[in-house]
Structure 1
Amino acid sequence: MQNGTDRFRVLIACALAVFWPGSFVFGFPGILRQHWQQVFEAGASDVGGTVFFILAGATCFMYVCGLWQEKYGPGRLAAIGSILCGASTIGLRWAASMAEVNLWAFCVGAGSAFIYLPGLTVVQRWFPERRGLVAGLFNMAFGLSAAIMSPVFTLFLARWGYGMLTVAAGTASLTIGLIASRWIGFPAAVLSKQAPMGRSNSIGLGLTVGQALKSRAFWCLWLTWVLAGAAGASMLVLATGFGLARGMGLASAVVLLTAFNLTNGCGRLISGHFSDRFGRSRTMAISFTAAGIAYLIMPHAATPWAWAVMAAVIGFAFGTMFAVSGPLAGDCFGMSHFGAIFGLVFTAYGFVAGPIGPWLSGHLLDRTGGNYVLVFSLLGTMYLLASGLILLVRPWRECRI
């Protein structure tokens, strides 16, 4: 698998494998929010907890997947991830409590880790000269999937019901994922040296996990994922709830979630491309600042179109975090131990961002009777702080210990 056709085939396979997990992660918590609240008499914090369990499942396996992909191969891990995502979503049909919904969320999170990290590593190794662009394209498939599928899921839910939706979506995820995993693999000659990109240069770098943990770049990136991850993930469960609280029907409120997921997906390709040209940290800082301002404005806006635009700005920043952080970590620490190092960065998102983002937001809404001004102001501040932190991650200065 060394010619140009093969590497594009690998890129497409990685994108297909991660598409369905992305639609579940970014789509189901918002679309099924009302169903779970009615059937299981769950509060906003309970539904917000599903995002926490998705993140926890992904984080528990992200680091080990970074290690296992070198030993067992990325294709095998992608196949395991497809089985976890597909089978657990089929099983969601028979969930009888929020505890079982949370078990589904954990399995989907774990399955996404088995697909996402190997896929992200694979595409960067096949395209060392355009790591930002291909990482953005891969991430676009992950994030854009929910924007494409959320209206479909909503229509399916209305016409055929909850059970048919989960069985059909789970079957599609399982089938497509297993087929795509056969094409996912590293190039025969793994490139250990990366081409210079903009002002950053990863040539000759291949820091160990221990060396990376001693650098300021790692911890600034880690804290960025805490703050930006918490603020971005919160919109997954708040978008439809905010619309309903402002008098919109469910079908109309889903437009806010769709706007978020549309830029969350498409924006990853755009930000990945611009990060190759203008710098990773600068690209992320600009998007985080815009999202912070959008959060502060959103509860004071008066029209559905304004809410959708603000949600789209926040979605773009959320997608930028995913699309650009991987190449930025590669610039700082090299690709030799990229999987393990990036898996540790992801712990910020899974173990910390979940509790201080979706769960805390839901808890505050329950305690304050739906005070979105308070909640959105908190989330906007998180994004503004993240924009300052990411500017401290400068590969051309910080990738030396």
Structure 2
Amino acid sequence: MTARTADVTLLPERTPSWLSREATIAKPGFNRWLVPPAALAIHLCIGMAYGFSVFWLPLSRAIGITASKACPDMSLATALVTTTCDWRVADLGWMYTLFFVFLGASAALFGGWLERAGPRKAGIAAALCWCGGMAISALGILTHQLWMMWLGSGVIGGIGLGLGYISPVSTLIKWFPDRRGMATGMAIMGFGGGALIGSPLAAMLMDAFKGPTSVGVWQTFLVMAAGYFVFMMAGALGYRVPPAGWKPEGWSPAPAKAGMITNGQVHLDDAHKTPQFWLIWAVLCLNVSAGIGVIGIASPMLQEIFGGRLVGAPGVSFAALDAGQKAQVAAIAAGFVGLLSLFNIGGRFFWASMSDKLGRKTTYAIFFALGIALYAAAPSFAAAGSQALFVLAFCIILSMYGGGFATVPAYLADIFGTQFVGAIHGRLLTAWSTAGIVGPVVVNYIRQAQVDAGVTGSRLYDGTMYILAGMLALGFVANLLVRPLKPKWFMSDADVAALNSRGAAGAIPSGSFGIGRGGFSATALAAWAVVGIPIAWGVWTTLAKALILFR
């Protein structure tokens, strides 16, 4: 590789010193176990993006209060500016598309900036965008302007999602080169867990703020934005990066897993030129497309497949149930969704940690092979009326969906090195944006085609399951084709040294940080308690709702 003497990563940062990357270089005695809680503080807040559906029904009667004031002939363009008609859930649901499109776009666009600016500045920018976007949305709800919600939470908030999501990736991988999967799994677990905390919290706040003239949503947005801002700022200020050349005591980099872990470094400008980047892009896109499609239909899928069987009335279709029975079935389906969310979160930590032992390529091979088998078997479980096997299959599938997100940063570090892994990961997240459109569209259109063909009951989703299995089969092939990079793609030692020169002055001997000096300290335990207690509350709340499945 040719030297990049004018590389943009060497440009000075015109910012206050406390915001600069240099100000975040850790001092001797710093405990590396303080970094994951900082990352979790940000991810738990932006993870509420998964829980925004809790607002849709209240917002659909923001004017009517007790019942929706509908305008049957209202177009989407009219819905954006109307002040006399209540919004439809479908109009509000576009927020999800905006979230994940702008998440991927901003992560790709700002990933290179993050690498030179550092995680603290990126975390603060994420807090301003995410919480500021919620404040703009609150004003949009108060004035009943849907376009302000789209702009606030969807566009500006979506940019905050992208910045917040990738802000800790490179830093964690550099702090935990010995446990890359576990480190990123801890943080990205928070993104999946944000809705477990945010959704019940939002429900409690809306209940407290609602009244004869308000459904309590705009007040809830403002309170949550303020709370999230405090948490996210604390996380951003808690970020530290290791000095150049630091490594854990007793650990030395060595090729492993049949050469699938490199000791070289690939420049950001070259990563996307390699076939390996696009193969891993396809791996993530296909894994996410299959999983995210299921998340979107989980509740109606269980209700329509098992119908009366869920409430002790086997042989009665969902459509034939009375209002009381349908309410019971809906509560059971909500428990199913909650259980899936728990496996989604747990899978992020479990599978990412397992990948440290199994290797990233092997872990993804398990995702695809086991996923294909479970999707293919799901129609048989449905036809046999085996609710337990059906639920178990999709819990495992969702654990691997979450595991795919948490494992991919370490996969990229193994193939491309750690120097630009945060920025490369940011560009790879365009696969998520793509999957966020492809997965739900494919699943919903296949289902509608089955409905139009008169298919009902346990056979309604058979075609969907087989199509998703086929998508995972393509992912299996893409993963199989991933190979170590050729030497031509790696930067020279001189180029790497030049890039690291900004942190060289602060370099210190190996082992002066983290568990090599004092272990899991009282300060680290306190930091973990700050994020761990809300997680435990969210898990308990969700588990309590999911227990209805087993009654």
TM range, smaller chain? 0.7 to 0.9
Deviation of the 1:61 alpha carbon: 1.0
State the TM-score, normalized to the length of structure 1: 0.85
Superposition pairs of residues 14-25 of structure 1, within 5 angstroms: 14-22=39-47, 24-25=48-49
Deviation of the 1:198 alpha carbon: 4.1
Which residue in 1 is equivalent to 2:98? 53
Q: Decide which of 86, 91, 100 is 2:131's aligned counterpart.
A: 86
Q: Decide which of 16, 28, 45 is 2:52's aligned counterpart.
A: 28
Which residue in 1 is equivalent to 2:481? 392
Separation (CA, whole Å) in 1 of partners of 2:134 and 2:276: 37
For residue 405 of structure 2, give the secondary structure of its aligned residue in structure 1: helix
Which residue in 1 is equivalent to 2:154? 105
Superposition pairs of residues 192-211 of structure 1, within 5 angstroms: 195-196=253-254, 198-199=256-257, 200=259, 202-211=261-270
Superposition pairs of residues 172-321 of structure 1, within 5 angstroms: 172-189=227-244, 195-196=253-254, 198-199=256-257, 200=259, 202-243=261-302, 245=304, 246=307, 247=326, 249-298=329-378, 301=382, 302=385, 305-321=388-404
Change (3 A) 1:379 1:170: farther
Task: Between 295-304 and 219-228, report the one with greater CA deviation.
Answer: 295-304
Larger Rg: 2
Deviation of the 1:201 alpha carbon: 5.6
Q: Decide which of 381, 384, 398 is 2:470's aligned counterpart.
A: 381
Deviation of the 1:97 alpha carbon: 6.5
Superposition pairs of residues 61-210 of structure 1, within 5 angstroms: 61-93=106-138, 94-95=140-141, 96=144, 100-103=148-151, 104-154=153-203, 161=215, 163=217, 164-189=219-244, 195-196=253-254, 198-199=256-257, 200=259, 202-210=261-269
Deviation of the 1:229 alpha carbon: 1.7
Provide structure 2 residue ranges, at least 5 long, that are not aligned to the other structure. 1-25, 61-67, 69-85, 308-325, 453-459, 490-551
For residue 187 of structure 1, give the secondary structure of its aligned residue in structure 2: coil
Report the AA paired with residue 156 of structure 2.
C
Deviation of the 1:53 alpha carbon: 1.6
Change (3 A) 1:56 1:88: same
Change (3 A) 1:179 1:374: same
Deviation of the 1:69 alpha carbon: 1.6
Separation (CA, whole Å) in 2 of partners of 1:347 and 1:56: 8
Change (3 A) 1:191 1:234: farther
Deviation of the 1:2 alpha carbon: 4.3
- Percent identical pairs in the alignment equals 22
Separation (CA, whole Å) in 2 of partners of 1:214 and 1:258: 40
Report the AA paired with residue 438 of structure 2.
I
Report the AA paired with residue 181 of structure 2.
G
Q: Is the 8 A contact 2:260 2:483 kept in 1?
A: no
Report the AA paired with residue 115 of structure 1.
G
Report the AA paired with residue 253 of structure 1.
A
Q: Decide which of 438, 443, 467 is 1:356's aligned counterpart.
A: 438
For residue 128 of structure 1, give the secondary structure of its aligned residue in structure 2: coil
Report the AA paired with residue 193 of structure 2.
L
String of CA shifts for 1:157-209, please: whole Å, max 9, x gaps: 56655515433333322221112111113223265998237414645311123
Q: Is the 8 A contact 2:288 2:401 kept in 1?
A: yes
Separation (CA, whole Å) in 2 of partners of 1:379 and 1:105: 28
Change (3 A) 1:311 1:150: farther
Separation (CA, whole Å) in 1 of partners of 2:436 and 2:376: 20
Q: Is the 8 A contact 1:145 1:265 kept in 2?
A: no
String of CA shifts for 1:217-248, please: whole Å, max 9, x gaps: 21110111221121222233222343454545
For residue 341 of structure 2, give the secondary structure of its aligned residue in structure 1: helix
Report the AA paired with residue 286 of structure 2.
L
String of CA shifts for 1:86-132, please: whole Å, max 9, x gaps: 23234434444765554423333321211121211111111122111
How many residues matched?
A: 395
Which residue in 1 is equivalent to 2:88? 41
Deviation of the 1:35 alpha carbon: 5.0
Q: Is the 8 A contact 2:280 2:479 kept in 1?
A: yes
Separation (CA, whole Å) in 2 of partners of 1:318 and 1:194: 32
Separation (CA, whole Å) in 2 of partners of 1:230 and 1:19: 23
Q: Is the 8 A contact 2:253 2:263 kept in 1?
A: no
Separation (CA, whole Å) in 1 of partners of 2:440 and 2:115: 33
Deviation of the 1:56 alpha carbon: 0.9
Q: CA RMSD in A?
A: 3.1
Separation (CA, whole Å) in 2 of partners of 1:185 and 1:65: 19
String of CA shifts for 1:53-72, please: whole Å, max 9, x gaps: 21111111112332112332
